[in-house]
Structure formats: structure tokens, C-alpha cells
Amino acid sequence: MQNVEIKEYLSLAGIRKITELDTALLEFYGQEEGAKHIENLTELFERSEERLFNGAGETLYLQRQEELVDYLNQSLQISLLAASFYDRVFFRRVMEYLLEYDSFWGRGIFDIGCGNGILTCFLALHHEDAAVTGLDLSRNAVSVAEELSGKLQVKNVRFVHSENFRQGKCDTLFSCRTVHENVAGRTVWESQKSSVISVEEQKKRHGRYAQELAAPVKTGGYLVSVERYDDDSAYAGLILALEQQGFLQVKGTHVQFSCKNGDETATFQAMIFQKTKG
């Protein structure tokens, strides 16, 4: 039943199987406009990669990619095409996890780093009695998410640019692929490949990130975390940093899965934590 619900939702949202993003852009926009998008995206990807690996220093990951993120979210259609190529399988796997552990969702839900709102709207539709708030650093992403929620006629969701959000408290915080926005220095996958970085050092790197996640969660509330990690010292460091902020792992909720992420295969760790102290 889960797979049917997920399949129907993704289809309704506009997520479909795309094997080549360039081909999809040409088919939708036509040769001239599609070619221009391909040219612009190629340039932005190259610039983003340059900033990621050569001379970006301690600039946060998302800030190194903000031009690319804004371009991919300049309209709902481009956002959906890109998400169909990069995230279709990932969305499905995450939704399976969210449905499997739906008893941990309270009446107040925050989705931090909500992007184009695909997962946020899914949560809102599945938890109709909850008030769901999606937060993102990209104003374009917030705009696209608002348009998507209107398209899907979701009534119990709102989207807010993070800088304009007056911090409140939630029963459940959903954090999906947000660590790269908050952990300074090298990217997650760079760090993963370096065996010389100790768990204790990884704990320090994730300290501020863990603090930001803990702040909006009520005592007794939950953090639902899905992050791109191997099961290694980097992920162990994240767990220790969360424990330092009062989060304890909920037994039986850890799931590791791998899926295609665009042209690559990526590994993700999903786990639920309960905040035991303020």
C-alpha cells in the first residue's frame, strides 16, 4: 500500500523518470531555450565544483552552491525536472521511511532545508491534523515550494525563508540532507574518505549543526534525520554531537540505504532521535 501511495503522490507532484536531464530540458523547452538552460547549468555546475574543492575555504557548502540552487529553483518546472533526474528514487526511499515511522510525527512539524517542498507537502498530506512549516535558505526554493503546495492543494503547510523565521518550537523536526549546509570546511563526502579524521574531531565539526537542530525541538520531541553518510566516523561524530545536545537514538529506527543520486550512487543514514533534555 505504501508504494501505491508514494507512486501516486510523486506522479501528482510532477516527478517522473528521467534518464538524461539535458534531453528532458530540450523536450520541454525546445531546442533554443533548452540548449540555453543546458549551457547555463553546465557553467554553474563547473563553477560550483571549483568553489567546492579549490579555494572556497570555510565557506558553508550551500553558499558555495547558491547560484546553482537558485537557478534550479527559478521555476517549478525546472525544479521538478531536476528533482526527477537527481532525486526521484531518493524521494521514494525517504517516503517509505517516513511512512514506516509515522508514529513519531507530532502536531507541529518543521522541515528544515525543505528545498522545493516535495517531502514537506508529502508530510502535510499524510498528517492532515499537523501544522507543517518548511524552511529553506533559498528564496527561490521557498517560492517554488509555495507554488507546489498550491498545485497539490495542501492546506496545512507554509513555507518560510529561514532568515525571516521567528524561531518557535516543534514536536518533530525533519532534517533531510542538511548537514552540508551547516558543517564548515570540507564536504561530507570528502571527510568520509579521510581515515585520519577521528570521531572526536568529527563530533567537534558537527557541534554547531547539532545545536541548531536542538534549538527548535521541544523536550520529549523528535528529530527525524536523513543524511548522506557512510556508516563511518563522520556519522558517528554526528550522533555524538546530537547526544551532547540531549538527543538519544530511538532503538530500531536506524536504516541505511543506497540509491542513484543523478549519475552517482549515494549512501544515506536515516534515524530518529528523541530530545530528552532542554
Is the predicted pLDDT of residue 53 greater than 60, yes or no? no
pLDDT tens digits, one per residue of 210-261: 999 999 999 999 999 999 888 888 899 999 999 999 999 999 999 999 987 7
Q: Which residues are CB-contacts of 67 (< 8 A; sequence separation ≥ 6)?
A: 44, 47, 48
Q: Which of 53-62, 134-143, 161-170 has the highest mean pLDDT?
A: 134-143
Neighbouring CB atoms inside 10 A of 72's CB total 24
The CATH classification number of 2-275 equals 3.40.50.150
Give the model's pLDDT for residue 58: 54
Of the candidates 223, 211, 215, 208, the one whose C-alpha atom is nearest the C-alpha of residue 274 is 223
Those residues with Cβ within 8 angstroms of residue 49's Cβ, 6 or more apart along the chain or in another chain: none
The answer to whether residue 54 scores a pLDDT higher than 80 is: no
pLDDT of residue 198: 86
Q: Measured between alpha carbons, how far is 31 from 211 in angstroms, rounded to an integer?
A: 48
At residue 107, the pLDDT reads 95
Summarised one tens digit per residue, pLDDT across range 147-206 is: 999 999 999 999 999 876 667 899 999 999 988 666 654 444 454 454 567 889 889 889
**Quick one: pLDDT at residue 55?**
45
Read off the pTM: 0.90
CA 258 to each of CA 47, 117, 146, 266, 268: distance values in angstroms, whole numbers, following the listed order? 27, 22, 30, 5, 6
On the question of pLDDT at 270 being above 70, the answer is yes
Residue 185 pLDDT: 43
pLDDT digits (tens, 9 = 90+) for 12-36: 999 999 999 999 999 999 999 999 9
